[in-house]
Each structure stands twice: as C-alpha cells, then as structure tokens.
Amino acid sequence: MNTAGYLSRLGLSRLIDAPASAEGLRALHVAHVERVAYEALEIWLDRPTSLDPVESADRIIRGRGGYCYHLNGAFSELVRSLGYDVTRHVGGVQNPGSEPGIIGNHLVLTVRGLPTAGNPGGEWLADLGLGDGLHEPLPLVAGTYRQGPFTYVLRPSEIAPGGWRFDHDPSGSFVGMDFERIPTDMSAFADMHTHLSTSPSSGFVRTAVVQRRDASGVDSLRGLVLSRLGNGTHSVTLDTARDYYAALADVFLLTFDDLSRQDKEGLWSRLHDAHESWLTGRTT
C-alpha cells in the first residue's frame, strides 16, 4: 500500500504520521470525495478491473476513480494503514422503483474508536462510493443530518437485523441504502462486481456515469449530459470530444493521461452512439 502516494493524491501528506482521530477521518473523507471521482469508465474502455483494494488504490494514485468497491475498498486500506479501526460491510443500494435489499451491490465502511462530543460511542459511517451521497462521515447514531443542500436520515434497518438504513435526500440519484453489521471481506462482492461491470442490465454498462461531490452539491455526468445539483439545478449537453474531455479534467479532475488518442476517440464514439440512442428512445 503506497500510503504516501495516496495521501499526496488527496493533498493530505501531513497526515502520514498523525494519530487516528475523528478530525483526521473527516479530512480524509472530504478530500477523497472532492478529489477522486465516482466513475466506471473502465467498463466503457473495455479494461476490466479487479476487487483488489491495493490495485484500486494504485489506480486512484495515478489519477483515476472508481465505484463503491474500488473507492471504499481502497479507502479502507488507506485508513487502516494510518491506524484507523475500519470494517467492511455488505450493503444494498435501493434505486428508484426497486425494493430495499442486502443484495451486495454496495460496499460500506464503518470506523470505530473515534468519540466526539456529538458521537460519544465513537463509531462512524464512512462511504465514498455513493456518488452523490455523503460529503463527510456520519456518526453511526440515528438521526437527521444536513450536508450542504442535502438532508439524510440514518436509522435502524428494517430488513437487516442489527443493521442500518441510510435514506438519501429526495433529490438524490437513489432512494437509500441498507447494510449489515457483520464484517465481510472483498470476496463477498465478486459475483456482483462481475454483474455490474459486464451485464447489459447493469446501470454502469448502460450509462457512463461520473460524479464528484463537494460541500455545496454534486456534479454529475451521465453519458454526455453534465449537470450540477446544489442550490438549484442546471445541465448542458457536451457536443464534442474536446468538451467532454475538458469537463472530465476541469470538473472531475480526470485527465486520462494514460489513454492514447485512439483510445480517446474510441471512447468518445461509443459515448456519442449511446447518447444518440438515448435521444432516439426519448422521441419514440
């Protein structure tokens, strides 16, 4: 685990020898969601990824992002290397129109041993893999929480005994998320990772999604439509490859320096074709 390289990517090299603390966890969480995009463009580049957290961390260090298995997996290794007591859990994100369930389509992290005045038990929900979800870690205490323009609810799960339920803001891209309290390892997500990265029914396969959270809202790129959700909503369609790659760099901090010109042209062509199919579907 290249801890120093990872902290440098987050702009937090000063924390390399800092003791574990609630303030440190917050700084790491905030820097991660603001600097490391939620994205699954490797699928659209036909470059399969593994569940190995160290491999995910290396990709992040090189300037890329990932989705929940990559982001939370890598982050768990980072904070563990810094002395934090972190645990992985199996979760289930509930999308609009679906029922809640612990289906393993989400990796969740909790961190223990960091009491504060508002969280005397010292346990926290850390989740960098929800796209337009958390900006800061939440105390693992039932209640309503405000982060920027979004309001979240954390409560006991109704489907996972002893587990927890995160209710997203009504403006969010998903309804909520439940997770079990039982610790797990990365192998628990192997089958779902294959499904999410290869199945025609997977949202990641159907739509190229990139998101980045900050204190005042979230930027989202779905296909070629770039949107900002915060105090109000606005969107624009990116009509050229130049605009698309400029948005990736300027808004999402993704430069794709490792891609050849041919790779970039191929990705743009696939995205453009998918966008045209989406437009056709809207008008028929």
DSSP 184: -
Which pTM was predicted?
0.93
pLDDT by position in tens, the chain (length 284) = 899 999 999 999 999 999 999 999 999 999 999 999 999 999 999 998 999 999 999 999 999 999 999 999 999 999 999 999 999 999 999 998 889 999 999 999 999 999 999 899 999 999 999 999 999 999 999 999 999 999 999 999 999 999 999 999 998 899 999 999 999 999 999 999 999 999 999 999 999 999 999 999 999 999 999 999 987 788 999 999 999 999 999 999 998 888 899 999 999 999 999 888 877 776 55
Query: What architecture is the 205-283 domain classified under in CATH?
Result: 2-Layer Sandwich (3.30)
pLDDT at 23 (0 to 100): 96
Spans of all domains in the chain:
3-193, 205-283
pLDDT at 5 (0 to 100): 96
Quote the CA–CA distance of 276 and 261 in Å, as a whole number. 22
pLDDT at 283 (0 to 100): 59
Helices (H), the chain: 3-10, 22-35, 41-44, 53-61, 68-81, 190-198, 203-206, 241-252, 261-283
Enter the tokens of residue 163.
């587990």
pLDDT at 189 (0 to 100): 96
CATH of domain 3-193: 3.30.2140.20
In the block, residue with structure tokens 């009509």 = 239
Quote the CA–CA distance of 15 and 181 in Å, as a whole number. 29
pLDDT at 84 (0 to 100): 98
Q: Which of 84, 43, 88 is nearest to 64 (CA)?
A: 43
Quote the CA–CA distance of 10 and 5 in Å, as a whole number. 9
Tell me, yes or no, if the two domains 3-193 and 205-283 fold the same way. yes
Q: Which of 267, 269, 152 is nearest to 210 (CA)?
A: 267
- SS3 track for 109-144: EEEECCCECCECCCCEEECCCCCCCCCCCEECCCEE
